[in-house]
Structure 1
Amino acid sequence: MHVLILGGTTEARRLAEILEDRAPRLRVTTSLAGRVTAPRLPPGEVRVGGFGGAGGLAAWLRAHRVDALVDATHPFARTISAHAAEAAAGTGVPLLAVRRPGWVPEAGDDWHEAGSLAEAAGLLPALGRRVFLTTGRTGLAAFAHLDTIRFLVRSVDAPEAPHPRHMEVVLDRGPFTLDGERALLRRHRIDVLVTKDSGGAATAAKLRAAREAGLPVVVVRRPPLPEGVRCAADPDEAAHWLLTHGR
């Protein structure tokens, strides 16, 4: 049985590790987009780069005799998720999406939801002037016009233009500690946090730090999965589905 994991996330790496441990004879290939300079590689085979759209992915599934496709990409990777659904439907390859649960506001949170990065940018002038932007290095163009706001941008790799004029960049990779997030907010005098609803524990400490500091948080809602796609909440659930399917 050959499983293709569309990866790049903690869940994708963990799924590959579980399959290596529980089913060592299973052939597992993880596909990475190639946007991160030094990605953490999972066990098994690894390919890097795009497929050339849904048609290219479908051709790859056929050429490499893939028996099951797992979309374990980032919850905001809307394009590849749509391509995966289309390619799976066109080839008859079973598709499973792995999506960690989204974050839920707690008592004391001051959350402002946005449907897109552009909508999030529109909320900022009324909320503060020193923004901790944790939406990644792509999509910064949505905030480039906000010349009266100073941004602290955190990403794994350096962002490219267009981006905000007043911007300081912190290159770092999670998981992040609560003490570290508290110190960062104080050191940079942050008064607004902007984040995507990525879910998971690796980057959740910033939400608690913002809650303790009484800061408003702009949360960009995640896009829905393509209609009809089966979903697992974690790698263990995905592995169970795969191994049951394999038998």
Structure 2
Amino acid sequence: MELNDDIAAAVTGGASGLGEATARALAAKGTKVAIFDLSEEKGEAVAHSIGGIFCKVDVTDDASVEAGFAKAREAHGQERIMVCCAGTGSAIKTASRSREDGSIRHFPVAEFDRLIQINLVGTFRCVAKSAAGMLTLDPLTSDNDRGVIIMTASVAAEDGQIGQAAYSASKGGVTSLTLPVARDLMGEGIRVNTILPGIFMTPLMLGAGQKVIDSLAASVPFPKRLGDPSEYAALALSMIENGYFNGEDVRLDGGIRMAPR
């Protein structure tokens, strides 16, 4: 798909990190970008800086997502690009003993459900609603190309660490969505791919401190550093622009394979 000012895109989690980098990269190509996020201050600032529009969206809420799409489509028209970067994580063992008193606890099921609802169900909610909108569009090319959907999983989908049961399950679910959703939409000219990022320099990581960042960087085979969000954005744009890129799960991780901890 050729990116220009006739193309509209929506990016969840677009106020920061991987989503922000992708929104900026799309806008630099002339694309009209709608940022879906809960952070109004950051989202409005990013949208203003790229000439886009901000839509306050909670991906776990049907009405919120519908309202976001309605606002974005009123401003930019039906999106042909949907990039899902909204997500969260936690680190809790399935069951563990307290070092202080030996008491035993298990992973709170409500927290497990929260991660599944945001990372997996929230992603699918946006994908399904966006795809339904794309079906109303005329094809752009002789290949009947109507749109592109990109989802964000994680290397934890394949080599989750201690305490990542819920996170890995949610991201593994996103990875498993890729091929069947691509097959669901193949007759409509909508391509679907997923990126599995490794350790990236996101706002969450910046709060971990330089010592932690240096230690994580040393664990990456090559290059020995954390990924830059612009590198995620570059891969997302490649998936969009390359019309033969479909039904793929792609790791972007500097060759890392995560250790147990």
TM bracket (short chain): 0.3 to 0.5
* Structure with greater strand percent: 1
TM-score relative to the length of structure 1: 0.42
More helix by share: 2
- Return the index of the structure with the highest Cα Rg: 1
